[in-house]
Amino acid sequence: MSGVRVEREGDVAVVVIDNPPVNASTAAVRRGLLDALRTTAADTTLAGVVLAGAGRHLMSGSDLREFDGEIPDPQLPEVLAAIEAHPLPVVAAISGSTLGGGFELALACDRRIALDTARVGLPEVGLGIIPGAGGIVRTIRLLDPGRLLDLVVSAKPLPAEAAHAEGLLDEVVADRLRDRAVAVARSSGKRVLTELPPRTGDGLKESARVFTGLPPRTGVLEEIARGLIARHAVDPAVVAAVGAVMTATAVPARQALRHERAEFTRLRRSPGAAARRHLFFARTTAMREGRPGTDRRIGPVGVIGAGTMGAGIARAFATAGAQVVLVDQKPEVLARAARDGVRTSTALTELADVDLVVEAVIEDHDVKTAVLAEAAAVVRPGVPLATNTSYLDIDALAAALPEPERLLGMHFLAPAHRTAVVEVVRGRATSPDALDHVLSAAKLLGKVPVIVGVCDGFVGNRVFSAYRYQCELLVEEGSSPRDVDTALLDAGFAMGPFAVADMSGLDVAWRARRRRDAGRDPRERYPDVADRLVEKGRLGQKTGAGWYRYEEGSRIPHDDPEVAAIIADSRASKEIDPRSRTPEEIVERVLAATANEAALVLAEGVAARPGDIDVLLTLGYGFPARLGGPCHWASTRPPGALADALDRLGRAVGWGFRAGDPELLG
C-alpha cells in the first residue's frame, strides 16, 4: 500500500495520505503523492486538488527511520516541486501536528487551511539537522528573516491561530476542514512561494552569497544571526540554520534550496543527529511503556513537604491544571510556596479528598515513614502514596506501612516544575493500581515516565554518582576541578560537575556519603577532597566557596588556591604523584564509567532498556543530547575502543571496580 489514495469531491481531487500512526513521509508515501500529482495534473475535469491526512495528522514529517541510511527515492523536494509545477491550485488541509517535512509539504501548496487544533513548525534543529525541503526557503517568503531565525532555532511548533496571525496559514477553521479546503481549491489560483521574493525585513542588500559562518556586521539581521551563533556555537545545527536563513535572503530560491538540502544532508549524517534520533525513539518508547494500563482521574493532589522539591512538585501539578493541597508543618515555609492553584495547610487531614499523595519531606527514613503512615490513615482507602525520595529504600519504606502496595517512588528532578522526565520507582509490593495512578499523573504533567526498580540511588542518581565519582578520582590523581569541568563543558555538558556541586551544595552529597560509610569497603578508593571542603565550611555557592570561590552575589566560579592546597594535601596523604590528563582522556574516562554503571544497572534489571537510561540522564541530569546518553555514546564507540576504555578504567579505579557487559548498552 502506497499510503496515498485519491478521492473525488466533484471537480476537486482530494489526495489522502494514510500512513498510520502519524502519516510520516516514507518513500511509499512520496511515490504515492507523485503518482497522484501526475494523475490529477493530466485530468482536465478537475478545478483543484486538496492534500489531506487520514487520522490525526496531515503529515508529521519525514520518517526518521529513513535517516540512518541514504534516504530512498523519491525525495521530498521532488514531490514539492511537482506540487508547485502542478497546473491546478493545490490546497493543504492541515490537521494534527504537521511538522518538518509535513509543514514543508504544506508550504509548497498554493494555500494552507488548518484546523484550529493543528500545530505547524520546523523542529529539525532539535533533531540535530535543519529543514531539508524548503522549510526555510519557502517560509522566508512569508516571515521576516529575524522572526524566521527564532522559529527555526527554537524548533518549537506554533498553534494554528498563531501561525495564521503570522501569515504562515491562509485560514483556520473549527471543523469541516476538508469541505473548506475543497471550496478554496475550487476558487483559488496558483501562488507559488518560491516565485515570490524573500521578506528581507530591513531591506538587506542582495549580497548574492551563501552564508556558512559568522555574517558580517552589515545590518540588524546580521546582528541577530551573530548573536545566535555566539550563543549556540557548540550546536552545528543552529549554526547551519542561521546560515541557511541568511543565504535564503541573499540568493535566488533554487540556489537557496540546493544549499538548504546540502546542509540538511551533511548534518543528517552526523553523529549528533544520530544521537538525537536515538533519543527521539527512546523517548517515544518510554512514553509508550509508561502509558497507564488504565487512565486514572488525577483530581486533587496532595503534596507533603513545602521545601524546594515539594514546592516545585506542587507548582508542576498546579500548572498542569490539578488542584493541589500542599501540607507542611511550618507556616513560614508554606508561605514561600503558596501560589495560584495551590491550597496550603499545616494539617494532613486536609488530604482527605486527594487522588494521589506525593511526599517530599526530608530524606530521613523515620520521618518519611511516619508522615506516610499518617497520610495513609487520612486519605481514602487505596489512594496511592508516592515518595519523592532520591535514594532511600522504597521497599523498606513500604514495609513500614499498613498497606505496602500503595507506595512507590515518583522521583522528580530539580527543577521539578520544568524537568521533562520523572523517575517512577516500583517497589516489590507496588500494586498495578498505584503504578497506574502515578503514570496517569506523569501524563497529566506532560513528563516522560521512566519506570525503574529499587537499588541505591535508583537509576538516575546511581549512574550520575558513577559519573561524579570518576571526576573526583581524576582530581585526586592530578587534574584540577577546572580541567575536568572544562573538558566536560566542551563535550557538551551544560555545566561542569564541580560547578554543579557548588550550585546544589556540597553538603547534600556529604550526607549521602555519610549514609554509606558503614557499608564502604576500606580497600575501595575514596576521594576525600569533597569531605575536606565541607569540613572547612565550604558548601558551594551558598557559602561563597566550595570547589571554587565566588564573589559576593556572583555565581561565577573562580579557581581558589586554598582548594588547590587542600587537593595537594589530600594527594600527599595518599602518596599520589599527581598526573593531569588531557581533555580527551578525561571525557573518555568519565563517560566510560557512566556507561559502565548503566550496563550494571541493566544487568541487574533495575532499568528495562538502555534508551530509558539515556532519556533519564539527558532530560534529567544534563547529559548532552548530542551524545545521545551514556548508553548510546558507548554503543557508538569504534570496535574495541570501549573495551580498551573500560580496561583503563578498571586499572584506574582498582579494587572494587565491576565491569559491566558493554553488549547490554544497545
Active site residue ranges: 104, 124
Compute φ and ψ for 422, nearest 5 degrees. Answer: -135, 135
Compute φ and ψ for 117, nearest 5 degrees. Answer: -95, 0
Answer yes or no whether residue 263 interacts with ligand T1G by CB under 6 A.
no
CA–CA separation, 464 and 445 (whole Å)? 24
| Nearer of residues 96 and 409 to ligand T1G, judged by Cβ | 96
- Whether 247 contacts 259, CB under 8 Å: yes
| Nearer of residues 157 and 384 to ligand T1G, judged by Cβ | 157
Answer yes or no whether residue 22 interacts with ligand T1G by CB under 6 A.
yes
Answer yes or no whether residue 543 interacts with ligand T1G by CB under 6 A.
no
Minimum gap (Å) between residue 355 Cβ and ligand T1G: 24
Q: Considering only residues 2, 19, 40, 62, which one is a binding residue for ligand T1G as defined by CB under 6 A?
A: 62
Answer yes or no whether residue 78 interacts with ligand T1G by CB under 6 A.
no
Q: How far is CA 387 from the centre of its chain?
A: 24
Stretch that binds ligand T1G, among 110-118, 120-128, 195-203, 204-212 (CB under 6 A): 120-128
Answer yes or no whether residue 72 interacts with ligand T1G by CB under 6 A.
no
Pattern 437-476, ligand T1G, x by CB under 6 A: ----------------------------------------
Minimum gap (Å) between residue 56 Cβ and ligand T1G: 7
Q: Considering only residues 32, 48, 53, 61, which one is a binding residue for ligand T1G as defined by CB under 6 A?
A: 61
Answer yes or no whether residue 281 interacts with ligand T1G by CB under 6 A.
yes
Is 450 strand, coil or helix? strand
CA–CA separation, 18 and 3 (whole Å)? 5
Q: Which amino acid is at 292?
A: P
Residues 375-414 that bind ligand T1G (CB under 6 A): none
Answer yes or no whether residue 168 interacts with ligand T1G by CB under 6 A.
no
Taken in order 492, 497, 498, 501, is the CA torsion positive or negative? positive
Stretch that binds ligand T1G, among 53-61, 183-191, 345-353, 494-502 (CB under 6 A): 53-61
Q: Considering only residues 34, 214, 234, 287, which one is a binding residue for ligand T1G as defined by CB under 6 A?
A: 287
CA–CA separation, 332 and 417 (whole Å)? 21
Stretch that binds ligand T1G, among 235-243, 277-285, 350-358, 382-390 (CB under 6 A): 277-285
- Closest to 104 measured CA to CA, from 72, 130, 73, 68: 130
Q: Considering only residues 15, 37, 51, 64, which one is a binding residue for ligand T1G as defined by CB under 6 A?
A: 64
Answer yes or no whether residue 614 interacts with ligand T1G by CB under 6 A.
no
Tell me the CA distances in angstroms from 139 to 122, 193, 305, one per residue in order: 10, 8, 49
- Closest to 597 measured CA to CA, from 652, 665, 511: 665
Q: Considering only residues 154, 270, 285, 329, which one is a binding residue for ligand T1G as defined by CB under 6 A?
A: 285
Residues 288-347 that bind ligand T1G (CB under 6 A): 288
Radius of gyration of the chain (CA): 28
Is 654 exposed, middle or buried, given 0-12, 13-18 or 19+ CB atoms closer than 10 A? Answer: exposed
End-to-end CA distance of the chain, in Å? 32
CA–CA separation, 560 and 482 (whole Å)? 10
Q: Which amino acid is at 660?
A: G
As a whole number of angstroms, the longest Cα–Cα distance in the chain is 91
582 CB-side CA count, 13 A: 3
Q: How far is CA 440 from the centre of its chain?
A: 20
Number of residues forming the site for ligand T1G (CB under 6 A): 29
Q: Considering only residues 3, 32, 100, 497, which one is a binding residue for ligand T1G as defined by CB under 6 A?
A: 100
CA–CA separation, 327 and 306 (whole Å)? 7
| Nearer of residues 99 and 394 to ligand T1G, judged by Cβ | 99
Answer yes or no whether residue 60 interacts with ligand T1G by CB under 6 A.
yes
Answer yes or no whether residue 523 interacts with ligand T1G by CB under 6 A.
no
Answer yes or no whether residue 131 interacts with ligand T1G by CB under 6 A.
yes
In this structure, the chain runs to a length of 666
| Nearer of residues 281 and 335 to ligand T1G, judged by Cβ | 281
| Nearer of residues 55 and 650 to ligand T1G, judged by Cβ | 55
Minimum gap (Å) between residue 451 Cβ and ligand T1G: 15
Residue whose C-alpha cell reads 604523584 in the numeric block: 577
Stretch that binds ligand T1G, among 130-138, 473-481, 612-620, 643-651 (CB under 6 A): 130-138
Answer yes or no whether residue 244 interacts with ligand T1G by CB under 6 A.
no
| Nearer of residues 133 and 140 to ligand T1G, judged by Cβ | 133
Answer yes or no whether residue 77 interacts with ligand T1G by CB under 6 A.
no
CA–CA separation, 171 and 182 (whole Å)? 13
CA–CA separation, 547 and 529 (whole Å)? 9
Answer yes or no whether residue 132 interacts with ligand T1G by CB under 6 A.
yes
Q: Considering only residues 154, 284, 329, 580, which one is a binding residue for ligand T1G as defined by CB under 6 A?
A: 284
Is 582 exposed, middle or buried, given 0-12, 13-18 or 19+ CB atoms closer than 10 A? Answer: exposed
| Nearer of residues 293 and 299 to ligand T1G, judged by Cβ | 293
Compute φ and ψ for 182, nearest 5 degrees. Answer: -65, -45
Stretch that binds ligand T1G, among 121-129, 171-179, 505-513, 570-578 (CB under 6 A): 121-129
Answer yes or no whether residue 151 interacts with ligand T1G by CB under 6 A.
no
Stretch that binds ligand T1G, among 42-50, 283-291, 312-320, 631-639 (CB under 6 A): 283-291
Answer yes or no whether residue 152 interacts with ligand T1G by CB under 6 A.
no
Answer yes or no whether residue 535 interacts with ligand T1G by CB under 6 A.
no
Task: State the DSSP string of 469-487.
Answer: HHHHHHHHHT--HHHHHHH
Minimum gap (Å) between residue 97 Cβ and ligand T1G: 4
Minimum gap (Å) between residue 20 Cβ and ligand T1G: 9
The interaxial angle of helices 220-231 and 236-248, nearest 10 deg, is 170
- Kindly report the number of other CB atoms within 10 A of residue 640's CB atom: 8
Minimum gap (Å) between residue 99 Cβ and ligand T1G: 4
Minimum gap (Å) between residue 299 Cβ and ligand T1G: 24
Q: Considering only residues 58, 63, 538, 642, which one is a binding residue for ligand T1G as defined by CB under 6 A?
A: 63
Answer yes or no whether residue 99 interacts with ligand T1G by CB under 6 A.
yes
Give the neighbor-by-neighbor strand order of the sheet with 111-115.
Answer: 4-9, 12-17, 48-53, 90-94, 111-115, 171-173
Task: State the DSSP string of 478-514.
Answer: T--HHHHHHHHHHTT-SS-HHHHHHHH-HHHHHHHHH
Answer yes or no whether residue 212 interacts with ligand T1G by CB under 6 A.
no
Answer yes or no whether residue 209 interacts with ligand T1G by CB under 6 A.
no
Footprint on this chain of ligand T1G (rule: CB under 6 A): 21-22, 24, 57, 60-65, 76, 97, 99-101, 104, 123-124, 127, 129, 131-133, 135, 281, 284-285, 287-288
